Structure 1
Amino acid sequence: MFPYSWFSSAVNVSFIPIHLLGILYVFIAFNFRPSHNSDRSYLKEWYYFNCVFQLGLGLLMIPEILISLFSGWHYSVCQAGSLYTGFLSGTVVFIWTITKIVDLFETLLLLYDARRPLTIHIIHHFLSLSYAFTFYSQNFAIHRWIVFFNLTAHVFLYAYLSGYKILNRWTPCWVAVCSSQMLQLILPFIATLSAAAKMTRGTQCDANALGIFTLQIGLSVMILLFADFYWSRLQEFRRKNMKKLEKEQKEDTDSSKEQTKQESMSKKRSSDETAIFENDFPELRSVVFSP
C-alpha cells in the first residue's frame, strides 16, 4: 500500500511555498532574458529523458486505468478506489505531482539556450503546478484521467521534440502532437461534466462541487488558449505555404521542365510536410506545445 495520507499531509503543508515558487517562476520567465546564445544546449537531452520517464509512468498507470474501465464509467469518474493508495497508481500520481516542480526547470533551460518561452507555455506550467498541489489531497476519482492523459500527451510531445516522430507513418507528427495536447484537456473536461451530472442527481462521487467547477473553468480556459494558439499558427502556415506554392508555380511556367518539377514537388510535399511546418515555425522546437 502507498502511504497516501502521509504524503497528502506533506503536500498540504507545502501548498503556500509551492505557489510562491510558482509566482517567482512566472516573474523570472517573463522578465529574464539572456544576453547571448550558449555554446551548449541541453534541451534535446532533457526532452529525451522526459519522454522515457513519462512513458514509464504511463505504463505503470495502465493497470489502474484498465481496472477503472472494467468497473464502469461511473466508477471511473466517481470512485477513487485504490487510485491514491495502490502501490503502483499511488506512486505514479505522487511522482506526477512532484514532476510539476521539475517541469519549471525546462523554462530555465530555454532561457539558458537564449530562447524566449511563449506566454501560453509559462501560464500552462504555472497552472499545472497549482492544480497538482491543490488537488492531490482532494481524493478526486477524476484525477486518474487527468494524470494518464497528461502523461500520454507528454510522451508524444517529448518524443517529437527529441527527434523521435511517433505516428509519422500515418500522419504528420505535428498533427499527432497537437491532437494529443488538445485531447489531454478535452477528455478530462468531458469527464468533469459526467461527474458533475452524477453529483447533481445525488449519486455518491469522490469529488466536490466547488472542485469540479474549478476544474471546469481551468480546463475551459486552457482549451480556448490552446485552440486559439494552434489555429493561428496553422492559418499562418497555410498562408506561407500558399505563397511558396504560387511562387514555385510561377517560376515553373518559364521552365521547359515544368512537368518534371511539378511531379517532384508533389512527391516531396507529402513526406516533407512536417519539415516545412518546422521550418516555418522554429518555435516548435522551443516547446510551443507547453507540456
Structure 2
Amino acid sequence: MFPYSWLSSTINWSLLPIHLLGIFYVFVAFNFRPSHISDRSYLKEWYYYNCVFQLGLGILMIPEILTSSLSGWHYSVCHSGTLYTGFFSGSVVAIWTFTKVVDLLETMLLLYDARRPLTIHIIHHFLSLSFAFTFYSQNFALHRWIVFFNLTAHVFLYAYLSGFKILNRWTPCWVAVCSSQMLQLILPFIATFSAAAKLARGTRCDANALGLLTLQIGLGVLIILFAEFYWSRVQAFRKKNMKSGGGGTSNSDSSEQESEKVLKKLKARRPSDETVMFENDFPELRSVIFSP
C-alpha cells in the first residue's frame, strides 16, 4: 500500500512554499536573459530522458486505467478506489506530482541555451505545478485521467523533441504532438462535466463542486491558449506558402496556375513537408514550447 495519507498531509503543508516557488519561476522566466550563448546545450538529453521516464510512468499506470475503465465510465470519473493508495498507481501519481517541480528546470535549460520561452510555456508550467500540488490531497477520481493523458502527451512531445518521431509512418509527427497536447486537456475537461452531473444528482462522486469548477476554468483557459497558439502558427504557415507561390501577379489565370503548382509541390513532398512544418518554416515551433 502507498502511504497516501502521510504524503497528502506533507504536500498540504508545502502548498505555500510551492506557490512562492512558482511565482519566483514566472518572474525569472519572463525577465532573465543570458548574456552569452552557451557552447553546450543539454536540451536534447533532457527531452530524451524525460521521454523514457514518463513512458515508464505511463506503463505503470495502465493497470489502474484498465481496471477503472472495465468498471464503467461512472466509476472511472467518480470513484478513486485504489488510485492513491495502490502501490503502482499511488507511486505514479505522487511521482507525477513532484515532476512538476522538476519540469521548471526545463525553462532554466532553455534560458541557459539562450532561448526565449514562450508565454504559453511559462503559464502552462506554473498552472501544472499549482494544480498538481493543490489537487493531490483532494482525492479526485478524475486525477487518474489527467495524469495518464498528461504522461501520454509528454511521451509524444519529448520523443519528437529528442528526434524520435513517434507515429511518423502513419501521420506527420507535428500532428501527433499537437493532437496529444490538445486531447490531454479536452478529454479531462469533458469528464469534469460528467462528474459534476453525478454530484448534482446526489450520486456519490470523489470530487467536490468547487474543485470541479476550478478545474474546468483552468482546463478551459489552457485549451483556449493552446488552440490559439497552434491555429495562429498554422495560419501563418499557410499565408507564407501562398505568398511564396503567388508571384505577386494580379492575373487570375496566372494566380490559379501558380496555386496549382504550389499544391502539386506540397503534395509531392508529403509527408516530409508537413513534418517539417514546425522545424523549417517555423523554427520556434521545433520544440512546440519555445522560440529561439
Same fold by TM-score greater than 0.5? yes
Once the two structures are superposed, what CA deviation does each residue of 1:220-258 show, in whole Å capped at 9, x if it has no partner?
A: 1110111111100100011112223335x9xxx9xxxxx
Once the two structures are superposed, what CA deviation does each residue of 1:146-183 show, in whole Å capped at 9, x if it has no partner?
A: 00000000000000100111111111110111010000
For residues 17 and 209 of structure 1, what CA distance do their matches in structure 2 show? 26
Q: Percent identical across equivalent pairs? A: 79
1:177 aligns to 2:177 (yes or no): yes
TM-score by length of 2: 0.92
Shift of 1:144: 0.3
> How is 1:230-269 mapped onto 2 (pairs within 5 angstroms)?
230-247=230-247, 266-269=267-270
- RMSD of aligned C-alpha atoms? 2.2
Aligned residues: 282
- For 2:132, the aligned partner's letter is A
1:288 aligns to 2:289 (yes or no): yes
Q: Tell me the equivalent position of 1:12.
A: 12
1:71 aligns to 2:71 (yes or no): yes
User: Residue 262 and residue 115 in structure 1: after superposition, are their counterparts in 2 closer, same or farther (change >3 A)?
Assistant: closer
Q: Tell me the equivalent position of 1:104.
A: 104
Kindly indicate whether the alpha-carbon contact (under 8 Å) linking 2:2 and 2:86 is maintained by their aligned counterparts in 1.
yes
User: Residue 244 and residue 66 in structure 1: after superposition, are their counterparts in 2 closer, same or farther (change >3 A)?
Assistant: same
Shift of 1:288: 1.6
Structure 2, unpaired ranges of 5+: 255-260
For residues 276 and 220 of structure 1, what CA distance do their matches in structure 2 show? 27
Kindly indicate whether the alpha-carbon contact (under 8 Å) linking 1:181 and 1:289 is maintained by their aligned counterparts in 2.
no
For residues 262 and 23 of structure 1, what CA distance do their matches in structure 2 show? 47
Q: Is 166-175 or 109-118 further displaced after alignment?
A: 166-175
Q: Tell me the equivalent position of 1:3.
A: 3
Kindly indicate whether the alpha-carbon contact (under 8 Å) linking 1:48 and 1:159 is maintained by their aligned counterparts in 2.
yes
- For 2:228, the aligned partner's letter is D
Kindly indicate whether the alpha-carbon contact (under 8 Å) linking 2:60 and 2:92 is maintained by their aligned counterparts in 1.
yes
> How is 1:131-146 mapped onto 2 (pairs within 5 angstroms)?
131-146=131-146
For residues 50 and 61 of structure 2, what CA distance do their matches in structure 1 show? 16
For residues 174 and 225 of structure 1, what CA distance do their matches in structure 2 show? 18
Structure 1, unpaired ranges of 5+: 254-259
Shift of 1:264: 6.9
SS of the aligned residue for 2:39 comes to coil
Kindly indicate whether the alpha-carbon contact (under 8 Å) linking 2:117 and 2:290 is maintained by their aligned counterparts in 1.
no
Runs of at least 4 residues of structure 1 off by over 4 A? 260-266
- For 1:237, the aligned partner's letter is F
